Structure 1
Amino acid sequence: MTETTNTPQLPDRLSIDPRSPFHNADVFQREVGIKFNDKERHDVEEYCISEGWIKVAAGKTRDRKGNPMMIKLKGKVEAFYR
Protein backbone atom coordinates (compact mmCIF):
# COMPACT_ATOMS: atom_id res chain seq x y z
CA MET A 1 0.00 0.00 0.00
CA THR A 2 2.94 2.36 0.37
CA GLU A 3 3.45 2.38 -3.43
CA THR A 4 -0.03 3.82 -4.08
CA THR A 5 0.66 6.83 -1.87
CA ASN A 6 3.67 7.78 -4.04
CA THR A 7 1.86 7.49 -7.37
CA PRO A 8 -0.17 10.38 -8.77
CA GLN A 9 -3.94 10.06 -8.93
CA LEU A 10 -5.22 8.95 -12.32
CA PRO A 11 -6.61 11.89 -14.31
CA ASP A 12 -10.10 12.04 -15.79
CA ARG A 13 -8.63 12.09 -19.30
CA LEU A 14 -5.32 10.53 -20.34
CA SER A 15 -3.52 9.83 -23.61
CA ILE A 16 -0.45 7.71 -24.36
CA ASP A 17 0.56 10.01 -27.23
CA PRO A 18 3.32 12.36 -25.98
CA ARG A 19 2.16 15.09 -28.43
CA SER A 20 -1.29 15.21 -26.83
CA PRO A 21 -2.13 17.89 -24.24
CA PHE A 22 -3.65 15.07 -22.13
CA HIS A 23 -0.40 13.11 -21.88
CA ASN A 24 1.06 12.90 -18.36
CA ALA A 25 4.45 11.16 -18.15
CA ASP A 26 4.32 10.92 -14.33
CA VAL A 27 1.29 8.63 -14.50
CA PHE A 28 3.09 6.21 -16.80
CA GLN A 29 5.79 5.43 -14.21
CA ARG A 30 3.47 2.54 -13.31
CA GLU A 31 1.34 0.45 -15.65
CA VAL A 32 -2.21 1.74 -16.12
CA GLY A 33 -5.11 -0.62 -16.74
CA ILE A 34 -8.42 0.25 -18.39
CA LYS A 35 -11.74 -1.53 -17.96
CA PHE A 36 -14.30 -0.73 -20.64
CA ASN A 37 -17.82 -2.06 -20.05
CA ASP A 38 -16.43 -4.37 -17.31
CA LYS A 39 -13.82 -5.97 -19.62
CA GLU A 40 -10.13 -5.15 -19.44
CA ARG A 41 -8.72 -3.63 -22.65
CA HIS A 42 -5.05 -3.51 -23.61
CA ASP A 43 -5.35 -1.47 -26.83
CA VAL A 44 -6.60 1.86 -25.44
CA GLU A 45 -4.79 4.96 -26.76
CA GLU A 46 -6.83 7.59 -24.88
CA TYR A 47 -9.72 7.62 -22.40
CA CYS A 48 -12.10 9.99 -20.67
CA ILE A 49 -13.92 8.71 -17.59
CA SER A 50 -16.42 11.59 -17.14
CA GLU A 51 -17.55 11.52 -20.79
CA GLY A 52 -17.48 7.71 -20.94
CA TRP A 53 -15.34 6.94 -24.01
CA ILE A 54 -12.08 5.38 -25.12
CA LYS A 55 -10.11 5.70 -28.35
CA VAL A 56 -8.56 2.65 -29.98
CA ALA A 57 -6.71 2.10 -33.25
CA ALA A 58 -8.94 1.12 -36.19
CA GLY A 59 -7.04 -1.92 -37.43
CA LYS A 60 -3.88 -1.21 -39.43
CA THR A 61 -5.17 1.92 -41.19
CA ARG A 62 -3.00 5.03 -41.00
CA ASP A 63 -3.63 8.71 -41.62
CA ARG A 64 -1.49 10.73 -44.03
CA LYS A 65 1.07 11.47 -41.31
CA GLY A 66 1.53 7.77 -40.50
CA ASN A 67 -0.40 7.79 -37.22
CA PRO A 68 -3.00 5.08 -36.61
CA MET A 69 -6.62 6.01 -37.37
CA MET A 70 -8.65 6.10 -34.16
CA ILE A 71 -12.23 5.19 -33.38
CA LYS A 72 -14.15 6.34 -30.31
CA LEU A 73 -16.13 3.76 -28.33
CA LYS A 74 -18.68 4.90 -25.74
CA GLY A 75 -19.45 3.05 -22.54
CA LYS A 76 -18.45 2.65 -18.90
CA VAL A 77 -14.73 3.45 -18.36
CA GLU A 78 -12.63 2.60 -15.29
CA ALA A 79 -8.91 3.32 -14.94
CA PHE A 80 -6.61 1.72 -12.35
CA TYR A 81 -2.97 1.03 -11.57
CA ARG A 82 -1.82 -2.56 -11.98
Structure 2
Amino acid sequence: MNDTQNLPPLPDRLSVDPRSPYHNAAIFEHHVGIKLNDKERFDVEEYCISEGWIKVAAGKALDRNGNPLMTKVKGTVEAFYR
Protein backbone atom coordinates (compact mmCIF):
# COMPACT_ATOMS: atom_id res chain seq x y z
CA MET A 1 0.00 0.00 0.00
CA ASN A 2 1.12 3.55 -0.69
CA ASP A 3 1.72 5.95 2.15
CA THR A 4 -0.76 8.76 1.45
CA GLN A 5 1.26 11.27 3.50
CA ASN A 6 4.08 11.25 0.92
CA LEU A 7 1.79 11.61 -2.10
CA PRO A 8 1.11 15.03 -3.67
CA PRO A 9 -2.46 16.27 -3.21
CA LEU A 10 -4.76 15.60 -6.15
CA PRO A 11 -5.76 18.81 -7.97
CA ASP A 12 -9.29 19.85 -8.87
CA ARG A 13 -8.48 19.45 -12.56
CA LEU A 14 -5.92 17.10 -14.12
CA SER A 15 -5.05 16.08 -17.67
CA VAL A 16 -3.06 13.16 -19.10
CA ASP A 17 -1.91 15.24 -22.10
CA PRO A 18 1.57 16.71 -21.39
CA ARG A 19 0.75 19.75 -23.59
CA SER A 20 -2.16 20.73 -21.32
CA PRO A 21 -1.71 23.42 -18.65
CA TYR A 22 -3.49 21.00 -16.26
CA HIS A 23 -0.88 18.24 -16.65
CA ASN A 24 1.20 17.43 -13.53
CA ALA A 25 3.92 14.82 -14.10
CA ALA A 26 4.60 14.35 -10.36
CA ILE A 27 1.09 12.99 -9.83
CA PHE A 28 1.39 10.47 -12.67
CA GLU A 29 4.36 8.82 -10.94
CA HIS A 30 1.67 7.20 -8.76
CA HIS A 31 -1.45 5.25 -9.73
CA VAL A 32 -4.45 7.58 -9.90
CA GLY A 33 -8.01 6.28 -10.06
CA ILE A 34 -11.14 8.13 -11.20
CA LYS A 35 -14.73 7.33 -10.25
CA LEU A 36 -17.69 8.80 -12.11
CA ASN A 37 -21.04 8.28 -10.38
CA ASP A 38 -19.44 5.63 -8.07
CA LYS A 39 -18.14 3.57 -11.03
CA GLU A 40 -14.40 3.40 -11.65
CA ARG A 41 -13.33 4.50 -15.13
CA PHE A 42 -10.07 3.50 -16.80
CA ASP A 43 -10.35 5.59 -20.00
CA VAL A 44 -10.27 9.12 -18.53
CA GLU A 45 -8.05 11.66 -20.32
CA GLU A 46 -8.97 14.71 -18.19
CA TYR A 47 -11.22 15.44 -15.22
CA CYS A 48 -12.60 18.36 -13.23
CA ILE A 49 -14.06 17.63 -9.80
CA SER A 50 -15.66 21.05 -9.12
CA GLU A 51 -17.44 21.20 -12.49
CA GLY A 52 -18.36 17.48 -12.39
CA TRP A 53 -17.07 16.13 -15.73
CA ILE A 54 -14.51 13.83 -17.31
CA LYS A 55 -13.22 13.71 -20.88
CA VAL A 56 -12.88 10.39 -22.68
CA ALA A 57 -11.90 9.50 -26.24
CA ALA A 58 -14.85 9.37 -28.65
CA GLY A 59 -14.20 6.02 -30.31
CA LYS A 60 -11.37 5.88 -32.85
CA ALA A 61 -12.06 9.31 -34.34
CA LEU A 62 -9.09 11.67 -34.68
CA ASP A 63 -8.87 15.39 -35.24
CA ARG A 64 -6.75 16.94 -38.02
CA ASN A 65 -3.63 16.84 -35.82
CA GLY A 66 -3.98 13.13 -35.10
CA ASN A 67 -5.25 13.55 -31.54
CA PRO A 68 -8.31 11.59 -30.40
CA LEU A 69 -11.59 13.49 -30.32
CA MET A 70 -12.85 13.93 -26.77
CA THR A 71 -16.34 13.79 -25.38
CA LYS A 72 -17.36 15.22 -22.02
CA VAL A 73 -19.31 13.00 -19.59
CA LYS A 74 -20.95 14.73 -16.63
CA GLY A 75 -21.60 13.36 -13.17
CA THR A 76 -20.08 13.12 -9.70
CA VAL A 77 -16.28 12.85 -10.06
CA GLU A 78 -13.97 11.40 -7.42
CA ALA A 79 -10.19 11.15 -7.80
CA PHE A 80 -8.07 8.90 -5.56
CA TYR A 81 -4.75 7.13 -5.31
CA ARG A 82 -4.83 3.36 -5.71
TM-score (norm 1): 0.96
TM-score normalised by length of structure 2 = 0.96
The answer for the alignment partner of 2:80 in structure 1 is 80
**Cα shift at 1:29:** 1.0
Which residues of 2 match residues 2-81 of structure 1 at below 5 A?
Answer: 3-81=3-81
RMSD value over aligned CA atoms?
1.1
For the structure 1 residues 67 and 23, does the alpha-carbon distance in structure 2 shift closer, same or farther, using more than 3 Å as the test?
same
Which one has a larger percent helix, Structure 1 or Structure 2?
1
What are the Cα deviations for residues 49-82 of structure 1, in whole angstroms up to 9, with x where unaligned? Answer: 0000000000000000000000001100000000
Number of aligned pairs? 82
- Give unpaired runs (5+ residues) of structure 2: none
